[in-house]
Structure formats: structure tokens, C-alpha cells
Chains A and B, each alone.
Chain A
Amino acid sequence: MARAFQLHPADNVATLLEDTSGEPVAITGSSEPLEITPSRAIALAHKIALCDIPEGGPVVKYGVPIGLATCLIRRGDWVHLHNCRSAMDERSSTLDVESGAATDTVYE
């Protein structure tokens, strides 16, 4: 079973330690051991939501807000550019969600 690591008791996301193609993930670290079924495949080093996070609510990792939910995030969802934004950096919200590549630079 793929594992995800919760860094801090206050975190509402955990980081995948292996790729998961959608099977349940074992959450280790700060919380009581628990299993969460992801809503889709999630890659190593990406984040899974440990609980529902309301739109506008803080995404917490390392015990600190690392961003804000841009829509309702459900427990088990992949948390990334498509549903979480920086409180400071605007451009990152325009990047391609899979590759991180810029979409606002003209090549012609």
C-alpha cells in the first residue's frame, strides 16, 4: 500500500511517499494511523487532502498555511495548482497543472 506522510498534527494534507494509482493510501506521521482512498492517481511527493477543506480555507502543511483552497477540496483529493493557490504568487496559478509549464509565455 502506498504511504503518505503527515508532517504536523495541524496539517490537512499529507505528502505521498510512493505513487498511487488510486488504491487506498496509508497515512503515517503525526496522525493516528489511517487509510484514505484517493479520488484519483497521485504521484510521489504530491499532496492528498486528509479532510474536506472549504473554498477559501487554508491548506496547512508543516503546521503553517501554504496556500488557500480555490474550491471545495474533498478528503482524498489531489491538492495542487487546480484547487490551491498561493497567498502571494499569482503567476503559479496559471501554470499547467500536470507539468508546471508556463501557459502565459508566447513562443512563435
Chain B
Amino acid sequence: MSEPVWEGYLRADGRLGVRNLVLVVYTVECASHVALEIGRGEEDTHVIGFPGCYDNAYAIRLMLSLARHPNVGAVLAVGLGCEYTQPGKIADLVKASGRPAEWFYIQEQGGTKSSIELGKRLVRRMREQIRAQTPRAPMRLKDLVVGAECGGSDGTSGLAGNPVTGRFFDRLVDAGGAAIFEETVEMIGLRDIMTARAATPEAAAQIGRAYDKAARYCQAVRQYSVAPGNFAGGLTTIEEKSMGAFAKGGSRPIQGVIRVAQRPPWPGLWLLDSVVDDSFMGFGYTNPNDTEGLMDLLSAGAQILLFITGRGSVTGSPLAPVIKITGNSQTFARMKDDMDFDASRILRGELSLDQAAEELQSLVVRVAGGELSRPEALGHREYFIMYKHQDTPALEAGCRA
């Protein structure tokens, strides 16, 4: 079979996107209504934002990685005017990446109405510009970064949904692409199995450290990453859920561990660690929901996201199409409009795992070429950016006494 080729969007930094979007970023919750209204009804325009008034290095790195995501062609940053996070600096860095960018403070524009009007004018102008000027370029599997996350897992997830994702990841990695999986808190109980998959002793050490931190986190917040729906769906322990979740990592060596807003330094299979520094664990849940996990995968540059569910999930994402996979035949039948891929056919013996992985790859290629995934067509654009401290030096700084 010949290698699939499709048309991507070539960014000035040399990266290739599968969508050509305008991103509206707000820098404090007070600006959220204006930002969401700017985006409402605007084609190819997505909105994200950070609620905090006080800035946070992690959140800023995350926003900057999303603002320079390969699927983003232009950015409008909207601030209220009081907050620490600087929309002007976001716009400057986006411009430096070769993308059109604008920003303003709502306080300086005279309030809600005039800000929405201005924002819409800027979005429309930049959208016209990137539609007219973004070069198209051939794209292959080797140009893809694909992220995988599971949510609403049940007993079928580890049998079909995650294994088919893992088998596709094997193919993607063999073709020279990058595959990222995360949720180290859902790998509890698997330390030896994970480190045995490392490509190098250094990668094994990174995986071991990430595992130990995830285990400390679960103890610190007194909650393992397993929810009522998982239990109702037949999963009995976190160990069982972990084995199922880890299956989405396929079988290729793990190159190493990346953190939020870090891109894989070279192709292959990577593990993403989104767990906070030890010093921040006492502040409660920092891996609170699936949307937060999808944002982490986006921040690593994933142009396509795979979401594997058992019980059924209607979560989507801004910036990158989410492809929804389930291994539960009842869920696929009940939530047909939301599901892109029926992996339960593997369990009925209608498809081998390899055949299913090949079919999933064809779907990924079609979506990369412009076909809308189900969550994308349904308008899902959920986002979640929170305060977090990850690899933050000098946490003590800030107080004189």
C-alpha cells in the first residue's frame, strides 16, 4: 500500500498543521465573556483562556504552546487590563513565530460591546489573511504528532479501544511520526512494566521518576484516578484500569518523558507527565478531568487527538480534531453521533487488531486531510487551563517575611 499523503498548512516555523484556525486567548476570567462572544458564530475560530488574575508560569507556557500550535494560523489575545498575564507578550511571541497576532485590553476599548466588535473585526481580518496566505504542503504520517487519552473507561477499554490505539501508534512510530500518551496517574501499579518499555536507561530513569511522582500525588490527594463510571463499567481496581490504559501505548520503546508545553524532541513514542511538583501536591487535584489532559497533549503539539472511551464521553477539544473510539458495542450504538470508531468489532471477531489499526489509520489520515471528526462537527471546544506548578524553581520567592 502506498504511503498516504494529504495537504497540510505550512507554518513559518516549518511545522505542519491539519487545520488553519484563529485562536482567541483570554488572560483572566473577567475577559472570558467578551472572548467567548468574539468567537461565537465565527468559522474556524476557537477560544481558550486562563481564569486566574495572578500569573502562573505553567499556565503561561501552556497558553503560549497553544497559541503557537501547528493548527493555529493567527491569534487574538484579550485581556481585561488588571491581570498579571500579559496579552501583549503573548501576541508578540506569536508574531515572532511568523503568525499574525493582535491584542487589546477591554478596559481601553470602552467595555463589552466595543470590545466584541473590535475582536470580531480583528478575527475576521486575520482569518482572511491566513486563508489567503498560508501555504499548503504535502503531509505524511511522519509529520504527525498524535496524542491519546482515555476517559469514561470500562472493561472493554483495555480489550479493544486502547489496544487498537496502541497498534495504530506502533504504525505511526514505524512511519516516523510521534505518538504521545499520558495519564501517569492511570499507570499506578505498573512501574516495572513501564520502565521495561524504555528505549534507553535514561528514559527508564525518567519513567521511574514520573511514576513515583504520580504515586506520591495519588497519596497526597487521597484519590486514585478511577471514577464511579469506571467501576460501574466493570473495572474493579486502579491496577486493572492502569493495565487497560497502558495498552494505548502500543508496543514500541518509550523514548522518554516530556512535560506540559514540551514538544517531543524527536519522533517515536513519548510519555507525557502532567503531574505537579511535590511542593504543590497539597493543593488538591491537579489532574482533575479529561479536558485538562487533552490540553496537555495539545501543548505538546499534537495535531490530532485520539480519545478512547468505554462508558461514553462527549468531550472534545479546541485546536485539534478529537477522534472518538469505543470498544463497547452498547456505547457505540447508544452514542452513535459522538463516536468515530467502533472497536467493539474486534471483540465480535469481525476485525483483527491489525485490520482495525489500519482502518483507524485511514480515519486519522482523512481527518488530517480535512474531514471533520464527530466531536469537531458537533462543535465541542472544551478547554481547561488551571494553576499548576511543574518544574517551577524558587517557589519560595514572592514574600519578604
Seen from chain A, the residues whose Cβ lies within 8 Å of a Cβ on chain B are 5, 7, 15-17, 43-47, 59, 61-62, 64-67, 79-81, 84-89, 91-92, 95-96, 98-102
Contact = CB atoms under 8 A, between A and B. Distances in A.
Contacts of B154: 45
B314 interface: no
A59 B238 CA distance: 13
B237 A100 contact: no
Nearest to A65: B239
B237 A67 contact: yes
B4 interface: no
Nearest to B347: A17
A100 B159 CA distance: 21
Top 7 A-B pairs, shortest CB-CB distance? A45-B155, A100-B231, A100-B228, A46-B234, A45-B234, A86-B237, A66-B240
B108 to A, nearest CB: 46
B351 interface: no
A87 B188 CA distance: 11
Contacts of B348: 17
A91 B223 contact: yes
A92 B238 contact: yes
Contacts of A80: 231, 234, 236
Contacts, number: 108
Given A67-B237, A92-B238, 20 more contacts: A7-B159, A15-B156, A17-B347, A44-B156, A44-B329, A45-B234, A45-B328, A47-B155, A61-B240, A62-B244, A64-B243, A66-B239, A66-B243, A80-B231, A88-B188, A88-B224, A92-B226, A99-B228, A99-B231, A100-B232
B330 interface: yes
A45 B239 contact: no
Given A44-B328, A61-B243, A89 B236 contact: no
B158 interface: yes
Given A88-B188, A89-B238, A95 B228 contact: yes
A5 B159 contact: yes
Question: Which residue among B156, B234, B238, B243 has the maximum number of chain A CB atoms within 10 Å of its CB?
Answer: B234
Contacts of B329: 44
B227 interface: yes
B261 to A, nearest CB: 30
A88 B228 CA distance: 17
Contacts of B347: 5, 17
Contacts of B156: 15, 44-45
B71 interface: no
A84 B231 contact: no
B237 A99 contact: no
Contacts of B236: 47, 59, 66-67, 79-81, 84, 86, 92
A65 B236 CA distance: 12
A67 B240 contact: yes
B155 to A, nearest CB: 3
B400 interface: no
Nearest to B246: A62
A40 B244 CA distance: 25
A60 to B, nearest CB: 10
Nearest to B244: A62
B318 to A, nearest CB: 30
A17 B346 CA distance: 11
A70 to B, nearest CB: 11
Contacts of A99: 228, 231-232
A5 B159 CA distance: 9
